[in-house]
Amino acid sequence: MVLDDLGSSLRDSLGQLSGQTRVTEEDVEDIVKEIQRSLLQADVEVSLVMDLSDSIKERALEEEPPGGTSARDHVLSIVYEEMVDLVGDSTDIPLEEQTILLAGLQGSGKTTTTAKMAWWFSKKGLRPAIVQTDTFRPGAYDQAKEMAGRAEVDFYGDPDEEDPVKIARDGLEATSDADVHIVDTAGRHALEDDLIDEIEEIERAVNPDRNLLVLDAAIGQGAKEQARQFDDSIGIEGVVVTKLDGTAKGGGALTAVNETGSSIAFLGSGEEVRDIERFEPSGFISRLLGMGDLKQLTERVERAMEETQEDEEDWDPEDMLKGEFTLKDMRHQMQAMNNMGPLDQVMDMIPGMGGGLMDELPDDAMDVTQDRMRSFEVIMDSMTEMELENPRAIGASQVERIARGSGKDEERVRELLEQHKMMSQTLKQFQGMGQGNMERMMKKMQGGGGGGGGGGMGGMGPFGD
Ligand SMILES: Nc1nc2c(ncn2[C@@H]2O[C@H](COP(=O)(O)OP(=O)(O)OP(=O)(O)O)[C@@H](O)[C@H]2O)c(=O)[nH]1
Ligand SMILES: [Mg+2]
């Protein structure tokens, strides 16, 4: 499957716009409904979803698609722009000396993120140090130290000290050689007063350049209250979403971003120090909507629809070279000409068939003019499945019947059969050549044969023996 479930229902809605130059209110309603469903399932707050829906609806109906843009692409780009607006750009994280404080509830992934970020900065050529101030949870020191080891970065902690503020102060001093200080803090089940007091004190002691709120991707509506309280007490400049390797899509992060007026800084997607990436709106939006990379969505929607068509009709141009060339193949060929251009160009797309080979063919072999094509199509519509598969079995009485059925004269029907025969013979010659011969011949034609080849066909015509 090209796109996953949610993506595919959105794709279906968008697909219905295919070929339209204008969208109706109903079209937009359908699309917006799909988007709402995806976002709500991804834990995005209802009010945010509604705001977004309104802007999309308004713009999709009021704005004129730029010249040459299809309705579908127009709606798609509006959806994307509005989503980017909602999600925002990545939090600015300059590659310079700085102190970063991480805050968040218990188990949200602070300690892991500290190590991941330290690793990330070290890969950017900076020297990071981790300062571990969690005196609340037994084992916090060992965990942080072990992770710092894996990230191969400086580490400071003091398992015997009970005052986190003192640890923070001592830690900055002890690691003064480092450029980037990342301060890990203790988590609690909920935001109790003592946690707030503690983190405020640490904040004052280390005077960070930025405070990041670490959120588990699975957090839903709880994100709002949490984000507001942390923002009130220390101020939040960015959000880190962790555990995106799970099933949760991280919509709660948008609530937090909205609540704190901040943006997303990093994404975590695993337990290893390497499982971190800078936030990038396009990928995240795609995830929220349950789609692949949305940047390429327009292309993908396009491609997906072509693929669906091909799947349905189960027709592959390469088959023409393998088996019997039927009237069905011919019909596809004629349709393909409408979509893709003339047969010689189509043949160019088939591996091993390019290189101007078709130029050597008699002109009328592939020449089906628009007019003839249209009448051929009508004629073929009057043929039975059997006749289409096996045109050689079409005798005089069938010609008569087909002519009557299609409203064309018998001569036209015979002309079609003649045309088919010609194309079929030409293709047979290709088949007869075999892969090796074909390659040799192509080389010769392209002047790559060396010796006296000289680019000409010489005496070796492709269709002689
Ligand atoms: N799969 C996965 N697990 C993660 C990720 N980030 C953290 N974890 C795991 O989640 C658990 C909690 O992570 P910690 O980094 O200890 O969380 P914390 O916020 O420091 O927890 P406290 O210090 O107790 O408040 C650990 O088992 C981590 O391995 C992630 O991105 N993906
Ligand atoms: Mg921790």
Q: What is the pLDDT of residues 160-177, one digit of tens each?
A: 999 999 999 999 999 999
Confidence of residue 112 (pLDDT cuts 50, 70, 90): very high
Ligand 1 atom showing the smallest separation from residue 269 Cα: 31
What does the pLDDT read at residue 447?
A: 41
Confidence of residue 337 (pLDDT cuts 50, 70, 90): low
Ligand 1 atom showing the smallest separation from residue 217 Cα: 31
Does 335 share its domain with 446? yes
Task: Report how far ligand 2's centroid is from the alpha carbon of 274 (Å).
Answer: 18
Number of domains in the chain: 3
Does 10 share its domain with 46? yes
Do residues 103 and 201 touch, judged by C-beta distance below 8 A? Answer: no
Q: How far apart are CA 25 and CA 174, in angstroms?
A: 64
What does the pLDDT read at residue 265?
A: 96
What does the pLDDT read at residue 308?
A: 44
For the record, the structure tokens of 110 come out as 């602070």
Does 443 share its domain with 324? yes
Q: Quick check: CB of 270 below 6 Å from ligand 1?
A: yes
What does the pLDDT read at residue 320?
A: 54
Average the pLDDT over 146-159 and give the result: 96
Query: How many Cα atoms are found within 13 Å in the side-chain-facing hemisphere of 395?
Result: 1
What does the pLDDT read at residue 381?
A: 84
Residue 209 has pLDDT above 50, yes or no: yes
What does the pLDDT read at residue 340?
A: 46
Highest mean pLDDT among 254-268, 313-327, 445-459: 254-268
pLDDT digits (tens, 9 = 90+) for 50-81: 999 999 999 999 987 766 667 777 787 788 78
Q: Quick check: CB of 112 below 6 Å from ligand 1?
A: yes
Q: Which of 62, 87, 112 is the last residue of a domain?
A: 87
Confidence of residue 293 (pLDDT cuts 50, 70, 90): very low
For the record, the structure tokens of 200 come out as 């405020």
> Could you tell which of 105, 106, 111 is best to mutate to test the pocket of ligand 1, judged by most ligand atoms within 8 Å of the CB?
111
Q: Which residues pair with 240 in a beta bridge?
A: 214, 266
Which helix (H) or strand (E) segment holds residue 396: the answer is: helix 396-406
- Report yes or no on 208 lying in a domain: yes
If phi > 0 it is left, if psi is from -120 to 50 it is alpha, else beta; for residue 213 that is: beta
Average the pLDDT over 28-44 and give the result: 85
- Report yes or no on 335 lying in a domain: yes
The number of the ligand nearest the C-alpha atom of 213 reads: 1
- Report yes or no on 334 lying in a domain: yes
Ligand 1 atom showing the smallest separation from residue 184 Cα: 20
- Report yes or no on 300 lying in a domain: no
Does 244 share its domain with 105? yes
Q: Which of 40, 66, 87 is the last residue of a domain?
A: 87
pTM, 2 dp: 0.63
Does 125 share its domain with 258? yes
- Report yes or no on 209 lying in a domain: yes
Task: Report how far ligand 2's centroid is from the alpha carbon of 184 (Å).
Answer: 7
Q: In what order do the strands lie in the sheet containing 98-103?
A: 154-156, 128-132, 180-184, 98-103, 210-216, 238-242, 263-268, 276-278
What does the pLDDT read at residue 74?
A: 78
Q: How far apart are CA 380 and CA 333, in angstroms?
A: 13
More confident residue, 18 or 61: 61
Do residues 106 and 188 touch, judged by C-beta distance below 8 A? Answer: yes
CATH number at residue 366: 1.10.260.30
> Could you tell which of 105, 111, 112 is best to mutate to test the pocket of ligand 1, judged by most ligand atoms within 8 Å of the CB?
112
Q: What is the largest CA-CA distance in the chain?
A: 102
Does 412 share its domain with 322? yes
The number of the ligand nearest the C-alpha atom of 112 reads: 1
Q: Quick check: CB of 250 below 6 Å from ligand 1?
A: no
Task: Report how far ligand 1's centroid is from the alpha carbon of 242 (Å).
Answer: 8
- Report yes or no on 131 lying in a domain: yes
Does 26 share its domain with 48? yes
What does the pLDDT read at residue 78?
A: 84
What does the pLDDT read at residue 309?
A: 52
For the record, the structure tokens of 235 come out as 């101020």
If phi > 0 it is left, if psi is from -120 to 50 it is alpha, else beta; for residue 239 that is: beta
Highest mean pLDDT among 1-10, 287-296, 378-387: 378-387
For the record, the structure tokens of 454 come out as 């000289």
Q: Quick check: CB of 347 below 6 Å from ligand 1?
A: no
Q: Which residues pair with 152 in a beta bridge?
A: none
Task: Report how far ligand 1's centroid is from the alpha carbon of 411 (Å).
Answer: 78
Q: Quick check: CB of 185 below 6 Å from ligand 1?
A: no
Average the pLDDT over 84-106 and give the result: 92
More confident residue, 452 or 116: 116
CA distances from 267 to 90, 112, 240, 371 (A): 10, 12, 6, 58
More confident residue, 265 or 452: 265
- Report yes or no on 303 lying in a domain: no
Does 153 share its domain with 239? yes
Does 71 share its domain with 106? no
Does 405 share its domain with 441? yes
CATH number at residue 131: 3.40.50.300
Average the pLDDT over 112-124 and give the result: 95
- Report yes or no on 295 lying in a domain: no
What does the pLDDT read at residue 339?
A: 53
What does the pLDDT read at residue 336?
A: 56
What does the pLDDT read at residue 349?
A: 42
Q: Quick check: CB of 188 below 6 Å from ligand 1?
A: no
Does 256 share its domain with 124? yes
Q: How far apart are CA 372 and CA 186, in angstroms?
A: 79
Does 164 share its domain with 239? yes
Q: Which of 286, 304, 337 is the last residue of a domain?
A: 286
Q: Quick check: CB of 140 below 6 Å from ligand 1?
A: yes
What does the pLDDT read at residue 193?
A: 82
Domain that includes residue 397, residue range: 313-460
